[in-house]
Amino acid sequence: MKQTTDLAKLYRHRFQPDALAPKRRIWKVLCRDFFSRYVRADAVVLDLACGYGEFINEIVAARKFAIDLNPDSPDHVAKDVTFYSTAADDLSMIADGSVDVVFTSNFFEHLPTKNVLNDVLAEVLRVLRPGGRILMMGPNIRYLPGEYWDFYDHHIPLSEHSLSEGLASMGFEIQEAIGKFLPYTTISRIPQHPLLVALYLRVRPAWWLMGKQFFVVAAKPKG
């Protein structure tokens, strides 16, 4: 997958330095109160397109891998994270069946085509152990038909239904598909204080009111 956009410039413009600390506080709560239920403490975890390490730095796991093409990413991931500068359709540095959980957030919509997305999913399927899971979060085109295209590098419109269909066609087993999970961005209506974030996660009706991102969990078959 050839990268033509200058990711460092793009994301420095999109994510101002003073917004990173509040975002990290939100992700600390998200990992502690929600994503941790999908990740055992002894798990091997891979974060696809890790960005500034918001998830991989906070999740508790025995071994952590992260990949991204943004040259700024290595400066933000924690010391216990093994980082690779590589495209997500080339995970050749990671052995077959060696990963328990793959995580990705707000990444698939940036891929140029669904063929490339299929290549990424094929690599994920390869590195996951049988029964291993991929956790995916992203903007839901069903609830963001206009705002979705306000970002220069958005290419693939997805919902929890279309993504689930694509995953199933690649051989994954769908375990969970939530259409409305988090608000669109951390600068939208999501509560910023850690206590309010924790409350939001516990009150499911709030998801239906403010949620604009899907959350999908799929597994590599055990057979």
Position 144 scores a pLDDT of: 92
**Predicted confidence (pLDDT) per residue in 39-60, tens digit:** 999 999 999 999 999 999 999 9
Position 13 scores a pLDDT of: 47
Q: Look up the pTM and report it.
A: 0.89
CA–CA gap between residue 2 and residue 157 (Å, rounded) = 20
CA–CA gap between residue 101 and residue 116 (Å, rounded) = 21
**Predicted confidence (pLDDT) per residue in 188-218, tens digit:** 555 568 899 999 999 999 999 999 999 999 9
Burial label for 204, CB within 10 Å (0-12, 13-18, 19+), is exposed
pLDDT band for position 150 (50/70/90)? confident
97-106, 172-181, 188-197: segment of lowest average pLDDT: 188-197
CATH 3.40.50.150 for domain 7-219: yes
Q: What percent of the chain has pLDDT over 90?
A: 79
